């Protein structure tokens, strides 16, 4: 799935994980998320978020600012360039979504998203070394 969405987003210069991060930051608007909040929303660990933010920051798409209340925490904000990149990538993402749903089926795609969301939200779920739950 990642390869499918990465290929669809290639003209934007973003990978699917980067697009997901940027859209989550954009969705929050002026309430810039902390790295921890972003990790929680995207069901990723904070170190992975940090690794994915570095190229976005390097390319001028996001800024990291110290939280005014908790100086140990950093808030992630979209730059004008970042907002523009999200806007440019959105039609590519929507076209990929449409293509996926047409091929997989709208109902099946919705069910798959619900199952994956349930798995991602169930922190007690663990898989043993044999892939058994």
Q: What is the CATH number of the domain that holds 37?
A: 1.10.10.10
Is the residue at 131 inside a domain? no
**51, pLDDT greater than 70:** yes
Residue 69 has a pLDDT of: 77
At 57 the three-state DSSP class reads: helix
Asked if the structure places residue 92 within a domain, the reply is yes
Predicted confidence (pLDDT) per residue in 56-101, tens digit:
999 999 999 987 777 778 899 999 999 999 999 999 999 999 999 9
**Total domain count for the chain?**
1
64 inside domain:
yes
> What does the pLDDT read at residue 122?
56
Residue 70 to residue 57: CA distance in whole angstroms:
21
Q: In percent, how much of the chain has pLDDT > 90?
A: 55
Greater confidence (92 vs 106) lies with 92
């Amino acid at each position: 799935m990642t390869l499918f969405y990465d290929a669809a987003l290639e003209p934007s210069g973003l990978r699917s994980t980067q697009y997901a991060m940027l859209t989550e930051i954009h969705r929050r608007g002026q309430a810039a998320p902390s790295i921890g909040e972003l990790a929680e929303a995207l069901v990723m660990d904070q170190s992975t978020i940090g690794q994915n933010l570095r190229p976005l920051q390097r390319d001028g798409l996001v800024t990291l600012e110290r939280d005014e209340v908790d100086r140990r925490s950093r808030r992630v904000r979209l730059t004008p360039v970042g907002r523009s990149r999200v806007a440019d990538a959105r039609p590519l993402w929507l076209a990929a979504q449409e293509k996926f749903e047409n091929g997989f089926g709208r109902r099946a795609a919705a069910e798959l998203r619900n199952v994956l969301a349930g798995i991602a939200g169930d922190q007690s779920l663990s898989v043993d070394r044999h892939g058994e739950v």
